[in-house]
Chains A and B, each alone.
Chain A
């Protein structure tokens, strides 16, 4: 075949939504109501999922997309009921497999905005394999991982993000598993967009969702979500106004990484051995201060930030850890098909298929 491969435009960052049809300019503005289905929401009272649902329903109109071109795919778990409550296309699939289903859909349909809703058990336990491969392939999908550090739907067993020693029905003597740090995991899996946000911070959640939707490639968003029934207060230390101040590390691109307020403000600096450490602001002058750069092609700094939380929530970074451009799997798959079709010089038709079936070694019986 004399194909002239289509050049893949790697230089120009394209929006994750570039191929998804938007509303006409003169269309009536969508509202939250347009994205609310007629199904009764059935999470427990006080569940953090309500806040995330409200934020997503409130945010989707901002994208200006046609509703029919948005698809939510989920796995199994409390959070995976999400698609039923959104008036878009949706699939509530099976445990852990949503990323693979979304991969097939997004690759064959560039005109869709494809979202995956999953939880810590769904994405990191039974579906761990699909998650890491969707991230490394960089499929153009947005993955929302609701992390409540517990199994909710099966009524309260420890999950792969539960703190060591967590007492549950299946770990009466305390859980002995080492938990995953989902952000570290995603970075290790070559994710091109990695962020963390929280159910209770509507503004921050919305801003992270906006950037995630805009990203072309796999966008991974960990959402800390409270489960008042089985793991209430798991994130209280970073939700309480008092304890929050010293612990929350808000990542802002181009700004030094800091924690704490005013007098007790700490600044992240790089040690001679390459590691990073918080020091009081007064001691930071003259030392190499870490300035956040989500677009850094080298993931080392982002990984170091992900390790600031050692599990004790002393310092918990929030925001976009990494946001880089690299070719997406689905674009590359489609490019290869397109260049094969173009290279053949004419579209596939009866004649081209006849030629394929004949091959090169035929004989005739008369």
Chain B
């Protein structure tokens, strides 16, 4: 049957199944094929912390959501237009997010009595009429796949069943007019050594495509036109990969070899994986015995003149705190990446949160200022890595990068920059004495600061004549010798603070088309997409909303206070209970309306639209402001 595709401007698809069903791979492939068609997109993988939770249960459900459109996409989408549910657990776990009227494709083969009862269905929802308001498309995915592979004698039934995700991918590809060339190439390289498995996967993929074409059930197919994006070469990239590449680029631009000391932790481990495969770019990755050793190795390498890096998540930062304090005292360049996840303690390892801001700010003993930057999208992770390295090397200081689980695993199209056009990161090692002793001899003072940046000289071992000792005990200004002098300590504490406070950061840009908005919405980190989408929507409803986003959290941009005071109301959405709001109130004495949630998932556009609407209404004399979402 030939159908003329209907035009859509955007679609949200969620693939959901058991952890073992290959949903992340299916989502990844659909994403690649979608990117290749020039749609803008955003993704949200969501998987359990357990590697293999019991099959068919609610805790075992893994999902992958993809939002693609003919215009710029800012979020992975609030609610799916299409849900693919590979079993009853996947249906049950996701149904609440699927708006009535949306399409649900279910794998009927898995709706057995046993599987239904595992998730508490006494009657099959496919039969009791409870799904009447949705467009349910029942497909016997497993058995059709097995049938399509009937002639593959060398494969067991289990192996054939496993190809059902490729069948689902083929079907969805037909529905949304995707080409499958990229997936075919991917399968060919993945199964290069297993020709039969390769042939079976391809056969399942084609079977899915043909099924869509020939079944009455799927009478409509859709097309989403390419998005208008700035010219360039694009690829799809996750935040963790973008961070890893950003550090390799920073190493290249600074001429410093990259040394990563790291201990595996969710959701940061992929940075370690990517970097350990890039030795070709002079990258050393040292998998340490624990979090503390990870940062110790990085700091040791930094003392020797390398670009020291450690990557972790919140619990790891807690363990690294003492060494970060040492780096503050030694005034050596070092970058600490915290891919935040739900806390406290082990918390929600695979879910996202922004609750380590205050830990990064204050989580050390003594007065211990550390600069903090935060990427706002997966692709921005690349630029933020370069920025962190610039700050660390120019100012000789540890720098925090606060990413989060959503950015780490989420992806978006990235316009690939030319390496030669990346910012330069010049690094000067000190090679000559910089002072004179009382007798007029040339000597080296490791704590004689640059008058502009207040950075101290970086003289690495191997430099003749500059032998010196540094340590965590308070040092005398200039000479760096041990000093317990009260005035010296007071001076050194203030110098270190002044140095960090004086780091040059770009001014905050405000997006305010009206020029006199009633409300400013200010965010940081991964809330960028949801905030931008919500702002767009409120504006289309006629509200005057200004928007700004912080990539530098310590020090803040110099114009931040001025920006905050320019608006009658300031709304700050965060995936914590108000950490940035606390800092802003303390620093600028402005009233902040904090909008918070810690559900392990990004904000939906709808909840932010509601919060902004409430804030705008609050300024109108006749409306009383009461809303549970703001406080």
Contacts and interface: CB of A to CB of B under 8 A. Distances in A.
Given A67-B467, A357-B417, A341 B298 contact: no
Nearest to A358: B416
Interface string A310-351: 000000000000000000000001101100110110001010
A10 B486 CA distance: 55
Interface in A53-87: 66-71, 73, 83-84, 86-87
Contacts of A90: 468-471
B280 A104 contact: no
Contact of B416 (A83, A93, A357): A357
Interface string A100-131: 11111111110110000000000000000110
A92 B481 CA distance: 11
Given A84-B482, A365-B231, A353 B293 contact: no
Interface string B273-289: 00000111111101011
Interface string B203-217: 000000000000000
Given A362-B416, A365-B38, A105 B301 contact: yes
A106 B467 CA distance: 17
A195 B101 CA distance: 77
Contacts of B308: 104
A364 interface: yes
Contacts of A83: 469, 471
B281 A352 contact: yes
A135 to B, nearest CB: 11
Which of A92, A357, A361 is most buried by chain B, counting CB atoms within 10 A of its CB? A357
Interface in B437-466: 461-466
Contacts of A357: 235, 245, 249, 416-417, 419
B386 interface: no
B35 A107 contact: no
B197 interface: no
A356 B278 contact: yes
Contact of A71 (B232, B234, B461): B461
B300 A101 contact: yes
B248 A353 contact: yes
Contacts of A109: 304-305, 461-462
Contact of B233 (A333, A334, A343, A362): A362
B482 to A, nearest CB: 7
B131 interface: no
A144 to B, nearest CB: 16
Interface in B294-352: 294, 296-306, 308, 322-323, 325-326, 330
B261 interface: yes
B418 interface: yes
A242 interface: no
Given A68-B463, A90-B469, A356 B245 contact: yes
Given A358-B233, A362-B233, A103 B296 contact: yes
B461 A69 contact: yes
Interface in B593-613: none
Nearest to B461: A89
A344 B257 CA distance: 17
B323 to A, nearest CB: 7
A39 interface: yes
Nearest to B330: A91
A244 B298 CA distance: 45
A25 interface: no
A71 B470 CA distance: 11
A340 B419 contact: no
Contact of B32 (A1, A67, A334, A361): A361
A350 B420 contact: yes
Contacts of B36: 361, 363
Given A39-B481, A73-B300, A352-B281, A111 B462 contact: yes
A130 B293 contact: yes
A94 interface: yes
Interface in B83-115: none
Given A130-B289, A363-B36, A1 B234 contact: no
A354 interface: yes
A104 B282 contact: no
Interface in A187-241: none
B290 interface: yes
B546 interface: no
Interface in B228-274: 229-236, 245, 248-249, 252, 257, 259, 261
B281 A356 contact: yes
B423 interface: no
A348 B280 contact: yes
B248 A356 contact: yes
Contacts of A32: none
A275 interface: no
A344 B281 CA distance: 10
Nearest to A1: B280
A133 interface: yes
A352 B280 contact: yes
B35 to A, nearest CB: 7
Contacts of A68: 461-467
Contacts of A298: none
Nearest to A37: B469
B473 interface: yes
Contacts of A111: 462
B33 to A, nearest CB: 10
Contacts of B297: 100-101, 103-104, 107
Contact of B234 (A107, A112, A350, A363): A363
B360 interface: no
Contact of A91 (B281, B420, B471): B471
Given A1-B280, A37-B469, A68-B461, A361 B182 contact: yes
B292 interface: yes
A172 interface: no
B421 to A, nearest CB: 10
A92 B468 CA distance: 11
Contacts of A39: 469, 481-482
Contacts of A247: none
Nearest to A350: B419
A273 interface: no
B472 interface: yes
A269 to B, nearest CB: 40
Most A Cβ at <10 Å: residue of B229, B232, B465:
B232
A236 B231 CA distance: 81
A100 B280 CA distance: 24
A88 interface: yes
A97 B293 contact: yes
Given A91-B469, A101-B300, A107-B297, 13 more contacts: A68-B464, A73-B300, A88-B467, A92-B470, A104-B296, A104-B301, A104-B303, A350-B252, A352-B280, A356-B278, A357-B419, A359-B235, A365-B230
Interface of B: 32, 35-38, 182, 226, 229-236, 245, 248-249, 252, 257, 259, 261, 278-284, 286, 288-290, 292-294, 296-306, 308, 322-323, 325-326, 330, 416-420, 461-473, 481-482
Which are the 4 A-B pairs with shortest beta-carbon distances?
Answer: A92-B471, A104-B300, A100-B296, A104-B297
12 contacts: A68-B462, A68-B464, A69-B461, A92-B471, A101-B299, A103-B300, A104-B286, A337-B282, A357-B416, A358-B416, A363-B38, A365-B229
